[in-house]
Structure 1
Amino acid sequence: MTQVCIYPKDAARLTGTQYTAGKRLLQRIRLALGKPTGSYISVGEFCAYTRLPEPEVTAAINATAVPTRR
């Protein structure tokens, strides 16, 4: 099963920062989306906020190969 929400350690790993920076990033995303504290952030919401490509983020989180474009 694929992971559909982002946790602080995932955000930190994807952005190359520390765990605490990952927590702050998710807090900023929640604030921007008007979500309550502690609510989940989906991969799509994370990608829309950070402008990272969703297929690459999904592949990195789930440790699968990135589909190539032809």
Structure 2
Amino acid sequence: MPRICIYPKDVAQLTGRSYDAAKRLVRRARQAAGKPAGALVSVQDFCRLTGLDEAEVSRALNPGSA
């Protein structure tokens, strides 16, 4: 089953940022989507904030499922 949620560890690997910077970016994506603290952040929420291509991020998170 493909992953649809994104975590700071994933963001750090995708962007090359530190884990702490990735946590801040995920927090910003959550806030921009209007979600409460602790809510899961979807790939769509993250891509909407960063401008990254959703399909590309999904492929990176779900290797082998194409």
User: Which of the five TM-score ranges fits, normalised by the shorter chain?
Assistant: 0.7 to 0.9
RMSD in angstroms over aligned alpha carbons? 1.5
Alignment of 1:50-69 (within 5 A): 50-64=50-64
Question: What are structure 1's unaligned runs of at least 5 residues?
Answer: none
Determine which structure has more spread, i.e. the larger CA radius of gyration: 1
Could you state the TM-score of these two structures normalised by the residue count of structure 1? 0.83
Q: Counterpart of 2:31 in 1: which secondary structure?
A: helix
Question: What are structure 2's unaligned runs of at least 5 residues?
Answer: none
Tell me which protein shows more strand as a share of its residues: 1
Q: Which runs of 4+ in 1 moved over 6 A?
A: none
Identical amino acids, percent of aligned pairs: 52
Paired residue total: 66
Higher relative contact order (CA 8 A, sep 6+): 2
Alignment of 1:1-70 (within 5 A): 1-64=1-64
